[in-house]
Amino acid sequence: MKSNIISKSRALMQRQTQKNGAPAWGLTELAAVMGKKLARQYHANGHLVVAALYLAHVVFHTKRHSYEMENHPRLSAALADRYLRKWKVADNERIIIVDAIRTHHDRAKPHSRVSEIMRNAEGYKFLTIEGCFIFLHALGSRGISWEKSVEYCIEKMNQKYALLTLPACKQETKKNMAGLVQIYRKII
Ligand SMILES: [Fe+2]
């Protein structure tokens, strides 16, 4: 049943990504891999963390500041809730997943360990060299200029860093950020 939540969430996110044209699939997978790793490391329920990571962007849009993009935590939480009920996921697990999705951009203290691990794993999308390159490639293929793409990437990097709560993640990604800034200085 539990691994079922992951495969069903992943399949739903794949369909929604095709429909919405964003976020880049590589970023979703990067966050899921990090979620699995951090959940093991911090003794959180990995199934719930990974399911929340797949479902956090089931409602999304390519356009910046669009209604869907601005409100995606709340909208994705509502859609995820509908599917988790349909899949007959236990109420206590559904509530934790939906809360993690709804609050994944909040600066307030996470309500659960699952939520905390999920939020930190999400950060790696924009706080790793691999993630930033995936993002830049996606923006380029949407016709966004190189300068604007780099600017957007730096903005996401700072936004995600501010949401990290685990000291080890902050330490690791701070080094990545320094490396990324050096790369950007050379190429812009
Ligand atoms: Fe998000």
Domains of the chain: 2-187 (1.10.3210.50)
Q: Which residues of the chain have pLDDT under 50?
A: none
Give residue 187's pLDDT: 78
Question: Token pair of 107, please?
Answer: 């600066």
How far, in Å, is the centroid of ligand 1 from the Cα of 69?
Answer: 8
- Residue identified by tokens 């080094």 is 175
* Amino acid at the residue 88: K
How far, in Å, is the centroid of ligand 1 from the Cα of 56?
Answer: 6
Give residue 2's pLDDT: 63
Give residue 185's pLDDT: 85
How far, in Å, is the centroid of ligand 1 from the Cα of 104?
Answer: 6
Give residue 170's pLDDT: 97
176 Cβ neighbours under 8 A, 6+ residues apart: 127, 128, 129
